[in-house]
Amino acid sequence: MEMFDVNEVPSGVSWKPFETRPIGPLGIIAMAGCEAIGQRVDQYLRDWREGRGEQSEDLYTFPGYNLSTFLLSAKCPRFGTGEGKGLLTQSVRGYDIYIITDVTAHQIQYTMYGKPVPMSPDDHYADLKRVIAAISGKARRINVIMPFLYESRQHRRTSRESMDCALMLQELSSMGVENIITFDAHDPRVQNAIPLTGFESFMPTYQTLKALCRKVKDLQLDKEHMMIVSPDEGAMSRNIYYSSVLGLDLGMFYKRRDYSTVVNGRNPILEHVYIGSKVAGKDVIVADDIISTGDSMIDLVKDLHRRHARRIYIAATFCFFTNGIKTFNDLYKKGYLAGVLGTNLCYLPPEVTSAPWFIQVDMSKYMSYIIATLNHDHSLDSLINPLNRIVKLLDRYKKGEEI
């Protein structure tokens, strides 16, 4: 784990973790599939607590802060029919609870009628509700950290179809959840479904750039040698941010689709049309929220290579690779693809994390800051906008300093 300097806090934050009294004893529930990131978050929080112990002795008089871990034990056992229940093995009365759930953790299985069944997003969401129901209103506050927002790609209605994400948000709100934390929401306007409930969508921009700078030591961060390309019009906002903070030109692809046909739940792409300045001889960063099948990104990489781009880096918050990674391996071997940056906010199979082209972006420290900030009832503003941290990061990189 990355070593933490107890004096390091995000620029603009006027407090340091655990110097003020929390609104309630901190409790973290890492749902099935989130054990690894839950342990990393817990380690950061305990390190910060222990670094503040001598300066804030009254902290340890607050219930819950003398425990060896902030992680609470919760289970969702299944009956043979596949039915389940939520179970807490310790008291949570008065706690400020943070439930971390990855609804895409398909590696988790349960047994139904003697057969192993991989957990679907619906199963993970049902287990989340079971744990909230098991808390039974005894906690001081319930916060849900759902990095990939359940059904977030179904964020608007274009015909007679369900609005699953909005219904999910309303259901969690009605169950007593006060804050919903997510990352890079497909369309954050879905929060309009719960205007009286806390909703925050954090972007991994700083962490992604930090991982790229650590991995690649010879980037030339100027318009002559590098540019940003948006994969479609829907991803423009995040790519505009990258181009703005890096001071680079921005291009984009327009996806021409066949809207008369639906294949696997989506309209097939007929053609990618590039709009922007020349990419020849330049390193290119393509940023998006999701790599699902990866078909679109594969087509973009091939197109950019035909346009003589020097190195192509894909940055995606959630890398699912639902069709596997064989084509990405082939693109890397051919020299078309330089790297894919993806966060650990969703399950990453070993074949992905060990791939020579994959650059993992660790979000556990950022998540720890969010939890500590909320638990101590401070503003999230400086964590939402990482501009100052990015500027310092780039300055250190250009000077050749350790990142």
pLDDT digits (tens, 9 = 90+) for 168-206: 999 999 999 999 999 999 999 999 999 999 999 999 999
Per-residue confidence (pLDDT) for residue 18, from 0 to 100 = 55
* Residue 1's pLDDT band (cuts 50, 70, 90): very low
Confidence of residue 16 (pLDDT cuts 50, 70, 90): low
DSSP state of 119: P
83: tokens are 């039915």
Confidence (pLDDT) at 4? 42
Give percent of the chain with pLDDT exceeding 70. 88
Of residues 257 and 309, more confidence is placed in 309
- In which band, very low, low, confident or very high, does the pLDDT at 289 lie, cut at 50, 70 and 90? very high
Residue 141: is its pLDDT beyond 80?
A: yes
Q: Is the model's pLDDT at 7 over the cut of 60?
A: no
Lowest mean pLDDT among 77-81, 224-228, 230-234, 310-314: 230-234
Residue 93 pLDDT grade (very low, low, confident, very high; cuts 50, 70, 90): very high
| Residue 70: DSSP 8-state | S
pLDDT at 340: 98
The average pLDDT across 56-71 equals 61
Calculate mean pLDDT across residues 133-150. Answer: 96
For 400, the token pair is: 């050749």
Residue scoring higher pLDDT (238 or 254): 238
**C-alpha distances in Å from residue 167, one per residue of 40, 98, 130, 172, 381:** 31, 21, 17, 9, 27
| Buried-state track 29-61, b at ≥16 Cβ within 10 A, e below 16 | bbbbbbeebbbbbbbbbbbbbebbeeebeebee
Query: In this predicted structure, what is the pLDDT of residue 54?
Result: 37
- Residue 22's pLDDT is what? 84
Residue 243 to residue 266: CA distance in whole angstroms: 29
- When pLDDT is cut at 50, 70 and 90, the band that residue 377 belongs to is confident
pLDDT over threshold 90, residue 167: yes
Q: What is the pTM of this model?
A: 0.89
Using the predicted structure, report yes or no on whether residue 104 has a pLDDT greater than 50.
yes
In this prediction, residue 300 carries a pLDDT of 93
Mean of per-residue pLDDT scores for the chain: 89
Helix, strand, coil percentages, rounded to 5, for the chain: 35, 25, 45
* pLDDT attached to residue 260: 64
For 22-62, how does the pLDDT look when each residue is reduced to its tens digit (9 = 90+)? Answer: 888 899 999 999 999 999 999 998 888 777 433 444 434 45
